[in-house]
Amino acid sequence: MIPARLEPILSGDALAPALADLLASAGFQVFLVGGTVRDLLLGNAHTDLDFATNARPEQVKQAVLGWADEVFSTGEAFGTIGVIKDGQLMEITTFRSEVYRDDSRKPQVEYASDIETDLGRRDFTVNAIALRLPEPEMVDPHNGLTDLGAKLLRTPLGPEISFGDDPLRMLRLYRFMSTLGFKATPAALAAVATMRDRLSIVSAERIRDELSKLIVGDHVTIALEGLVESRLADEFLPEFTALADAHDPHQRHKDVLAHTVAVVAKTSPALELRLAALLHDIGKPDTLSIEDRKVSFHHHEVVGSRMAKARLQELKYPKPIVTDVARLVYLHMRPHTYALGWTDRAVRRYVRDAGHLLVDLNELVRCDVTTRNEKRARQIERRIDELEQRIAELRQQEELDKLRPPIDGNEVMAYLGISPGPAVGEAMEMLMEYRLDEGPFEVEEAHRLLDEWAAQRGIERS
């Protein structure tokens, strides 16, 4: 019997049956598989369609020739052909069995002859459910439907075998805990704890992609706690587990790790923001100081920003993400330095320094408040409220989003009669500082300031 939630994918005008008819008419078996089936059964949104077949890549390309709008062969080495039809991406993969060998960072692909073998090599039973097409029939050799109903993550084979075949599955276990809210079997958790060092053979790019999906999950708390408990995080994010050591003997800062997890869970599920929340306090263990029973983490945001940048670079994150996350970590303590109130000058500098990250930075600062001291929490919230109000007020009075002097570098060179060089940058920096301190000013005032600046440096206008 076919579950009702799968019926829309089987309707007469759906693409899945049409593709299945093409392959079946060429004499091949075809199955809808993996996350596509899982998400349909859960009633979750799905985007791409994944198929498994006994046809080899060249045979798949031949079968879809003339039907598909586009065909991609970038995954052919791994047995996968991509197809686009009417804007829908479909991936068709030959039955396979892939494993890591020794210390290889890339899986070796071996083709299989049947769907049961193919499903057995998948990561978890909930992803090892197939729908035979074009004549619909459920194929579930590992009781994935039962585990799906129980919201349980279990490996089709023993976890030692599955994780040994592809160590990334250990991290994927926590990714699905975060995104689906499922629990893992005790056997799977125990295997991670004993096999975690095998993750070292997996490429940084694959680890990065799993972390990016994990960090934006709706159930991120249980996943992050699991990564620490199993020590799997030590293999790719040791700065995170080190937060457990950033406490003091007087118990005033007894759990920076728990605080960090709470901050991540409070933030919106946007990648850069969640990564910044994850890393915002990683500088604390290195800056911990205890004097007269008072604990401090002076400049932990500066140290943490450098650490965050280095770690994200090692994980091969794109440069814009690395830059943005490091900037958010660096600035997350800035609002606390204005406890006595926000002057126009302070607001301008805050907006300038935050740039396009202003909204994310304000959210991070708010979410960073996890204290149980309600009075202190209200004080911090009022401080952020005041900041946002002052930004709104100044934005009405000035072009806060376009903080710059009334003239540019070319006009500076023309007015002073100087050539391109360091002096131009110094002059522009002087004008920007004046803009931040005093607000908007006219071109005439800029010329006056340049005259004074040039005279002080012995620069004669030509």
**pLDDT, tens digit, for every residue of 340-356?**
567 788 888 888 889 89
Rounded distance between C-alpha atoms, residue 307 and residue 22, angstroms: 53
Task: Please write down the HEC assignment for all residues of 34-93.
Answer: CHHHHHHHHCCCCCCEEEEECCCHHHHHHHHCCCCCEEECCCHHHCEEEEEECCEEEEEE
User: pLDDT tens-digit profile of 169-217?
Assistant: 999 999 999 999 999 999 999 999 999 999 999 999 999 999 999 999 9
Encode burial over 208-238: b for 16+ CB neighbours within 10 A, e otherwise: bbbbbbbbbbebbbbbbebbbebebbbbbbe
**Got the DSSP string for 244-293?**
GG---TTSTT--HHHHHHHHHHHS-S-HHHHHHHHHTTTTHHHH-EEETT
The structure's pTM equals 0.83
* Best mean pLDDT range from 112-116, 124-128, 254-258, 331-335: 124-128
CA 155/CA 128 separation, integer angstroms: 9
The domain locations on the chain are 4-150, 152-236, 247-254+262-403, 405-456
Helices (H) and strands (E) in the chain, counts: 22, 13
Class of domain 4-150: alpha beta
What whole-number distance in Å separates Cα of residue 140 and Cα of residue 41?
13
Gap between the Cα atoms of 314 and 238, Å rounded: 12
Average pLDDT over residues 133-148: 95
pLDDT at 336 over 70: yes
Residue 65 tokens read as: 């020739």
- Does 4-150 match 152-236 in CATH topology? no
256: tokens are 């920076």
For the chain, give the number of residues: 462
List, in order, residues 6 or more apart from 32 with CB less than 8 Å away.
9, 16, 49, 50, 51, 130, 131, 133
d(CA 236, CA 230): 13
For position 325, what pLDDT does the model report?
98
pLDDT recorded at residue 253: 46
Q: Which one, of 138, 135, 98, 93, lies nearest residue 120 by Cα?
A: 98
Strand 96-99 vs strand 108-111: parallel, antiparallel, or unpaired?
A: antiparallel
In which band, very low, low, confident or very high, does the pLDDT at 250 lie, cut at 50, 70 and 90? very low
Q: Are 10 and 17 in contact (CB under 8 A)?
A: yes
Residue 162, both tokens: 């599955």
Mean pLDDT of the chain: 89
What confidence score (pLDDT) does residue 458 get?
Answer: 82
pLDDT tops 80 at residue 385? yes
**Alpha-carbon gap, residue 121 to 79, rounded angstroms:** 14
Q: Is the pLDDT of residue 249 over 60?
A: no
CATH topology of domain 152-236: Hydrophobic Seed Protein (1.10.110)
- CA 372-217-222 angle, 5° bins: 55
C-alpha to C-alpha distance for 7 and 40, rounded to whole angstroms? 9
Which tokens belong to 308? 């965050």
